[in-house]
Amino acid sequence: MGMTMTQKILAAHAGLENVKPGDLIEAKLDLVLGNDITSPVAIHEMEKFDKKEVFDKDKIALVPDHFAPNKDIKSAQHCKIVREFAKANNITNYFEVGQMGIEHALLPEKGLVVAGDAVIGADSHTCTYGALGAFSTGVGSTDMAAGMVTGKAWFKVPEAIKIVLKGKLNKWVSGKDVILHIIGKIGVDGALYKSMEFTGEGVASLSMDDRFTIANMAIEAGGKNGIFPVDDKTIEFMKEHSTREYTVYEADDDAEYSEVLEIDLSALTPTVSFPHLPENTHTFDDIGDIEIHQVVIGSCTNGRLQDMREAAEILRGRKVADGVRVIVIPATQKIYLQAVEEGLVKDFIEAGAIVSTPTCGPCLGGYMGILAEGERCVSTTNRNFVGRMGHIESEIYLSSPAVAAASAITGKLSQPSEL
């Protein structure tokens, strides 16, 4: 029996010629990631081990980004733990204020992940790096601790869903609309502990930013990981950002899949996830007037340069509706600086938005945009669970940056064609 991309990567890192779904394996890791919420727990777990040294100071990345810059005393204490651990262990890839970014945008930008890697991170959206043709998945803090010490992790080899992309996206339709459409189609548990493997001629038309967004939200369908084939765009991205050698894995022709989905990209339209699950998707054919109070454009899902450009194109020369708060959060310092140099920040501010330092901030209800009772937010983030961004009686509508920006102008849930 042939193997999928994911299965081939796992087999190689386990030193095996072949693996099949359900096999339990121990695989070597190329990178272990933690943030300011999960790393302190992992560090405390390491204190219980006989061996307390990290396996490789160059293969651990620590990124305080959820509550950083510190929002309160407790978050300051958390970041202090991570900072002192990084210093004590001479961790090469420690990125805090001034160098920080939202972890899943920062690591590819820094060239820390390349095709063929096996990566774990104590954050569920670690699956983002599948856009580069890597196996990457989220784990708990205890697994992160074990990974930091041993450089290995246990996995059950996942089944795979093959998602065949055809055609090309239309104007104002992006990778966010693609993944929301898929989640709406299969549900939040439709890919439970399965690898979502994207393929087809439509992949070539997707930008790398689109692919990062799609892979990022594989977990919102329950996926163990999401992964894209390595093509010219992938290689160009890696050559621009990394000096590391990469390995290209391709699925065998006789690889087995539990399900095959076909998606016509040209048929997709702007899609929104209504409260309180990402699977509760709607297109504008069945959306009425929904007044909003806040817009958030950013996060590890949609804080990249393409997202900034799309939002700025819509906001440029227009004004945010009265009564609407708009928060724009570039995902890294590099993206922030590029947005300044291109005049995008000027467009945001003149439209009536604010622009934040890179941080997860409001995405997880951290700070810089908490919702009050009865408030509605259109957000480019990845989850809209009850109380995710504040009060349990607030509402979150997940969308692309284009829809978020258009909604900011009208004061209600809107698509760009309505402007």
| 205 and 281 assigned to the same domain | no
| 259 and 393 assigned to the same domain | no
Helices (H) and strands (E) in the chain, counts: 13, 18
| 281 and 256 assigned to the same domain | no
| Greatest pairwise CA separation for the chain in angstroms | 62
Give the count of beta carbons closer than 10 Å to the beta carbon of residue 407. Answer: 30
Kind of pairing between the strands at 152-156 and 24-28: antiparallel
Averaged over 352-379, what is the pLDDT? 95
pLDDT band at 242 (very low <50, low <70, confident <90, very high): very high
E strands along 78-199, which residues? Answer: 93-94, 118-121, 135-138, 152-156, 159-166, 194-199
| 260 and 282 assigned to the same domain | no
User: Residues 222-237: pLDDT tens digits?
Assistant: 999 999 999 999 999 9
Averaged over 345-365, what is the pLDDT? 96
Cα 126 to chain centroid distance, Å, stands at 7
Evaluate whether 125 touches 149 at the Cβ level (below 8 Å).
no
Evaluated on CA atoms 95, 96, 99, 101, the torsion sign reads positive
pLDDT at 357: 94
pLDDT at 51: 83
207 three-state secondary structure: coil
Evaluate whether 387 touches 372 at the Cβ level (below 8 Å).
no
| 257 and 302 assigned to the same domain | no
**What are the tokens at 307?**
């997202």
Give the count of beta carbons closer than 10 Å to the beta carbon of residue 250. Answer: 14
Give the count of beta carbons closer than 10 Å to the beta carbon of residue 75. Answer: 19
pLDDT band at 351 (very low <50, low <70, confident <90, very high): very high
pLDDT at 286 over 90: no
pLDDT at 108 over 90: yes
| 115 and 255 assigned to the same domain | yes
Domain count, the chain: 2
| 206 and 289 assigned to the same domain | no
pLDDT at 419 over 90: no
**What are the tokens at 332?**
């890294």
pLDDT at 187: 95
pLDDT at 395 over 90: yes
| 237 and 373 assigned to the same domain | no
pLDDT at 288 over 90: no
User: Residues 289-332: pLDDT tens digits?
Assistant: 999 999 999 999 999 999 999 999 999 999 999 999 999 999 99
User: Minimal CA–CA distance to 30: which of 94, 104, 120?
Assistant: 120
Phi, psi of 393, deg, nearest 5: -105, 25
CATH number, domain containing residue 304: 3.30.499.10
Average pLDDT, the chain: 96
| 123 and 61 assigned to the same domain | yes
| 135 and 152 assigned to the same domain | yes
* Domain, as residue range, for 332: 271-418
184-197 residues labelled b (16+ CB within 10 A) or e (exposed): bebbbebbeebbbb
321: region left, alpha or beta (phi > 0 left; psi from -120 to 50 alpha): beta
Place of tokens 């006989």: 50
**What are the tokens at 8?**
């081939």
Instruction: Identify any residues that bridge with 26 across adjacent strands, giving them in sequence order.
Output: 154
| 293 and 249 assigned to the same domain | no
| 252 and 290 assigned to the same domain | no
Rg of the chain in Å (alpha carbons): 20
pLDDT at 52: 81
Averaged over 92-117, what is the pLDDT? 95
Interatomic CA distance for residues 220 and 20, integer angstroms: 24
- The half-sphere exposure of 371 on its side-chain side, counting CA atoms within 13 A, is 32
Evaluate whether 165 touches 265 at the Cβ level (below 8 Å).
yes
DSSP 178-192: HHHHHHHHH-TTTTT
pLDDT at 388: 95
Residue ending a domain, choose from 235, 264, 293:
264
CB contact set of 101 (below 8 Å; sequence gap of 6+) = 63, 65, 95, 109, 331, 332, 333, 334, 335, 358
pLDDT at 100 over 90: no
Give the count of beta carbons closer than 10 Å to the beta carbon of residue 57. Answer: 15
Distant-in-sequence contacts of 87-91, Cβ < 8 A, 24+ apart: 89/53, 89/54, 89/57, 89/60, 90/57, 91/54, 91/57, 91/60, 91/61, 91/62
Averaged over 94-100, what is the pLDDT? 90
Residue ending a domain, choose from 240, 264, 288:
264
pLDDT band at 1 (very low <50, low <70, confident <90, very high): confident
**What are the tokens at 221?**
């369908």
Evaluate whether 300 touches 383 at the Cβ level (below 8 Å).
no
57: region left, alpha or beta (phi > 0 left; psi from -120 to 50 alpha): alpha
Residue ending a domain, choose from 229, 264, 299:
264
Evaluate whether 152 touches 26 at the Cβ level (below 8 Å).
yes
User: Residues 6-48: pLDDT tens digits?
Assistant: 999 999 999 999 999 999 999 999 999 999 999 999 999 998 8
Percentage of the chain surpassing pLDDT 70? 100
Q: Using H for helix, E for strand and C for coil, what is the string for 242-294?
A: CCCCCCCCCCCCCECCCEEEEEEHHHCCCEEECCCCCCCEEEHHHCCCCECCE
Phi, psi of 35, deg, nearest 5: -125, -170
